[in-house]
Structure 1
Amino acid sequence: MQRRRGRLVKTAGVVAGCVLVLTGGGAAWAYWHLDHNIRGVDIDSTLGDDRPPKPAPATPEPSATAPPAGALNILVLGSDSRSGSKNSALGGGHSEGARSDTAMVVHLNADRSAATVVSIPRDTLVERPACPTSFGGSTQAAYGAMFNSAYSVGGPVCAVKTVEKLTGVRMDHYLEIDFSGFASVVDALGGVNLTTTEGIDDDLSHLQLDAGYHHLDGKQALAFARTRHGVGDGSDLGRIKLQQQLVKALVAEVSGSDLLTDPARLYKVADALTGSLTTDTGLDSLGELQGLAGSLKGLSADEVKTVMMPVLPAPSDPNRVVADEPEAGKLWASLR
């Protein structure tokens, strides 16, 4: 899945464009509908001060509709939640088994002229800290835990806290999209074009592709993002390469589409995107997303760099990985 770049961050520009083109009697309802599509989680209040320090802003805090000031780090998750009939049809299983199927830290530099997207392998063994819950309790701390277990035991709050523990980097914002939402966004865009260098035959993701050029619909794009067993060495690291390829293809699709001249299509994309989003409370309104999206107008696809956190096979399990230090630490330090 899965921003990467941000798949989500780049596509979020659609929201700003939709606001600009909605006119006439239905504009107020359309704005209300898109605004209320978005689900918010109060991560800042729940985590409190037990976090990496937040750099002091160079300028006063922006208003809800003004472009955010300074560099930003955004945790983008692709959730494998199976809640709802659409998600169930695409993934199977039950909502209580949801995990962060894809995790990326999107770093936007201060003037929004460049972005770095760092993929975190879900099979990384990490120290999962104790995380506060919305009920006033706490999850259990764990050592040598799978990275993606943080979301399953503590939701977005624990996912953010675990990433901050791993990286030492304060996450300014959180964005999450689920199975059906990702597929719907791709379908609303009209599909995505990419070229595979080798054939894919994965019975688990139900994707079969010959090597060569392909136009993928939403269901196929989701399967491409989830494929690991039918291509390469079958590892999560191989899947990340496919996800990064898909990110670039989606960035190119959004950048090359003249959505602003097609209000109906633009609204369809915006509706699919906002209807699938869970964000922190700093981005859970259309105006706040519009402010972020507006700040990205000068960001070109060529200035979006995709990398993976340096990892090594875990000594305790060759099927798992651990952060490769000091290289991983140097990468995260560059994003602070």
Structure 2
Amino acid sequence: MTQSMVRGEGTQPDVPGALGPDRADGGPPRDEEAADGDGSGRGRGGRALRGPGGGRRRVLRWSASTLAVLILGTASAGYLYYEHLNGNLRKGQRSSGDGKARRSQPNAAGQTPVNILLIGSDSRNSDANVALGGSRDNRGNPPLGDVQMLVHLSADRRSASVVSIPRDTRVAIPQCTDPATGKVYPPVTTIINESLARGGAGCTLATWEKVTGVYIDHWMTIDFAGVVRMADAIGGVDVCTRQNVWDRPLPGVPGGSGLKTTAGTHKVRGKQALQWLRTRHAWGSDLLRARAQHMYLNSMIRTLKGQNAFTGTGRLMDLAEAATKSLQVSEEIGTVKKLYDLGTQLKTVPTDRITMTTMPNVPDPLNRDHVVPDGADAEKVWRMIRDDVPFDDKGPAAGGTPHKAPDTPAATPSVPAARLGVIVENATRTSTGAAVRGRASAIGRELVAKGYGRATADSSAVPSEDETVVRYPSADLRGDAQRVAEALGIPADAVKQSTDVSGVTVVVGADWREGTTYPRQTAPKAGDLPGTSDAINGSDTGQCMDVYAPYRW
């Protein structure tokens, strides 16, 4: 409406400084202008004189102009605030390591799940973080990822699953390149929290993909100061202990978060919220710290839902300001709009369909202070995420919308079986035990018996693999790889193209430790989590932490 009025005003005589049909100074027409005329109702220059409705028209014009200014001003302020929030965000490369995970297949409705890696950094590289995190001696050191959780949002957006990997879990960290410096870090086997210092959050993401086989879409990191800022913006989160707790240094046991509260439910905010999330000794172990963190997150989600944070403008602005100042995110979600869209998808999940867990683990045989993934139980959790099977049993009977078959139609082999060179690798080693001796040779002999006379076993040591896979380097060998998989009973979705191999390669994983025909795998069912995963439902308000006796008061 405003633009059309401006165009209309532009048809008036071109008078320097004119404001429209009235005087340039905005005042009413002079008396002589009103009195002058030829009896036709028109004044000098042929302009229509103001009749009885002229004042109303002028008021309407001024009202429209004022409204236009207000709209533009508000829009400009909104745009500037939006740009301000975008300016707060720090962004980084999604992956800086050698990840091999494939994206999830869409379900029958064409929907795909979303996987987000949350990383809590112990960085002391600011005054605020030093004040909150302890030792100044660590200032300037690369940060460690002491808290790591994978959030899986189901394809139908009806459930969410969260899995923590304890910080002291020994894993294989792949080669990573620091995107800021270009420094290349070689592969190493060490505890997972060191991955953040070997190429940033993108290296931690690549490590998770290697450990889990789950494709991870995004990452977010937050440091000590960010946790405090977010806890204050939310207004506090309810947590509970069954005894009085004081996490403090004790003789022979230095450190401690400083958390001190009486038994019962308390609302923690600011620094005290950070203390709750960092407490370890008072709960008895790092594994129990993960449980306390899950309780906090569940309570936080319930709090945000109760505040209508996504619909109340004031609350949304407060949270947006705090979040954009607190978070660093992977670049593909590096705008406020994309983060908001992601948040609204998470908002649709009912709290009783959010399940928090910890990766099943066992003591590390090489170091009693560390843990390693608990083979079959850990793999079951990762497979449930890869297959988009809910951690709870409150959804549809089948556990969700069925997935499409992978888009890998059969291809024509390039050469007869007898002429195809096939390499067989033994990757049956697990986190708790050595590889099964002779597996590559046994499967190689089986292939020879099936007509693959050029199949040979690779005797060199190879990284462990949880699942058996057939890899091929280029599209022209896809049909050959599919035929090899079929000969051994390996499922079609385990045939994958990879630049890591020079020819068709059968990688015998830890899921095939005996026999010469690949064992039929039972698909996991909704809610069928291993008992070792320490699952907590998001609607459970009765959760309360037990305090290890030395830290009671």
TM-score (norm 1): 0.84
Letter in 2 for 1:269: L
Letter in 2 for 1:222: L
The structure 2 residue matched to 1:30, chosen from 73, 81, 95, is: 81
Which residue in the other structure is 2:299 paired with?
249
Letter in 1 for 2:381: L
The structure 1 residue matched to 2:383, chosen from 319, 333, 336, is: 333
Q: CA deviation at 1:59?
A: 9.8
Q: CA 1:311 to 1:262, structure 2 compared with 1: closer, same or farther past 3 Å?
A: same
Counterparts of 1:60 and 1:173, CA distance in 2: 23
Greater gyration radius: 2
1:52 paired with 2:104, answer no
Runs of 4+ in 1 over 4 A off after TM superposition: 56-61
1:89 paired with 2:131, answer yes
Residues paired across the two proteins, number: 302
Contact 2:185 2:198 in 1 (8 A): yes
Which residue in the other structure is 1:125 paired with?
170
Q: CA 1:273 to 1:95, structure 2 compared with 1: closer, same or farther past 3 Å?
A: farther
Q: CA deviation at 1:264?
A: 3.6
Q: Secondary structure at the match of 1:334?
A: helix
Q: CA deviation at 1:277?
A: 1.1
Q: Deviations over 1:221-256 (max 9, x none)?
A: 11000001123x2x1001111111111111111111
Which residue in the other structure is 2:121 paired with?
79
- What aligned pairs does 1:252-291 form with structure 2 within 5 A after superposition? 252-259=302-309, 263-291=313-341
- What aligned pairs does 1:54-203 form with structure 2 within 5 A after superposition? 54-57=103-106, 69-92=111-134, 93-134=138-179, 135-143=181-189, 145-203=190-248
Which residue in the other structure is 2:278 paired with?
226
Which residue in the other structure is 2:445 paired with?
none
Q: Which has the higher contact order (CA 8 A, sep 6+)?
A: 1
Counterparts of 2:83 and 2:104, CA distance in 1: 34
Letter in 1 for 2:262: D
Counterparts of 1:59 and 1:276, CA distance in 2: 38
Q: Secondary structure at the match of 1:278?
A: strand
Q: Which has the higher strand share?
A: 1
Counterparts of 1:266 and 1:186, CA distance in 2: 14
Counterparts of 2:77 and 2:128, CA distance in 1: 28
Q: CA deviation at 1:27?
A: 1.2
Counterparts of 1:70 and 1:292, CA distance in 2: 13
Counterparts of 1:102 and 1:153, CA distance in 2: 16
Q: CA deviation at 1:174?
A: 0.7
Q: Secondary structure at the match of 1:326?
A: helix
Contact 2:105 2:112 in 1 (8 A): no
Letter in 1 for 2:113: A
Q: CA deviation at 1:211?
A: 1.4
Q: CA 1:47 to 1:201, structure 2 compared with 1: closer, same or farther past 3 Å?
A: same
Q: CA deviation at 1:299?
A: 1.0
Q: CA 1:316 to 1:301, structure 2 compared with 1: closer, same or farther past 3 Å?
A: same
Letter in 1 for 2:104: P
Q: Deviations over 1:269-288 (max 9, x none)?
A: 21111111111111111121
Q: Deviations over 1:183-233 (max 9, x none)?
A: 1111011111222223321122011122112111121111000001123x2
Counterparts of 1:313 and 1:250, CA distance in 2: 31
The structure 1 residue matched to 2:262, chosen from 200, 210, 228, is: 210
List alignment gaps of at least 5 residues for structure 1.
Answer: 1-22, 62-68
Q: Secondary structure at the match of 1:215?
A: strand
Which residue in the other structure is 1:43 paired with?
94
Counterparts of 2:242 and 2:75, CA distance in 1: 48
Letter in 2 for 1:297: K
Q: Deviations over 1:117-136 (max 9, x none)?
A: 00110010111121122244
Q: Secondary structure at the match of 1:268?
A: helix
Q: CA deviation at 1:310?
A: 0.1
Q: CA deviation at 1:55?
A: 3.0
1:320 paired with 2:370, answer yes
Counterparts of 1:47 and 1:125, CA distance in 2: 17
Contact 2:119 2:148 in 1 (8 A): yes
Q: CA 1:136 to 1:216, structure 2 compared with 1: closer, same or farther past 3 Å?
A: closer
CA RMSD of aligned residues (A): 2.1
Letter in 2 for 1:55: S
Counterparts of 1:305 and 1:245, CA distance in 2: 11
Q: CA deviation at 1:109?
A: 0.3
Q: CA deviation at 1:57?
A: 4.8
Counterparts of 1:109 and 1:181, CA distance in 2: 27
Contact 2:104 2:113 in 1 (8 A): no
Identity of counterpart residues, as a percentage?
A: 36
Counterparts of 2:231 and 2:369, CA distance in 1: 32
TM-score (norm 2): 0.52
Counterparts of 2:167 and 2:307, CA distance in 1: 32
Q: CA 1:149 to 1:196, structure 2 compared with 1: closer, same or farther past 3 Å?
A: same
Letter in 1 for 2:236: G
Q: CA 1:59 to 1:138, structure 2 compared with 1: closer, same or farther past 3 Å?
A: farther
Q: Secondary structure at the match of 2:333?
A: coil
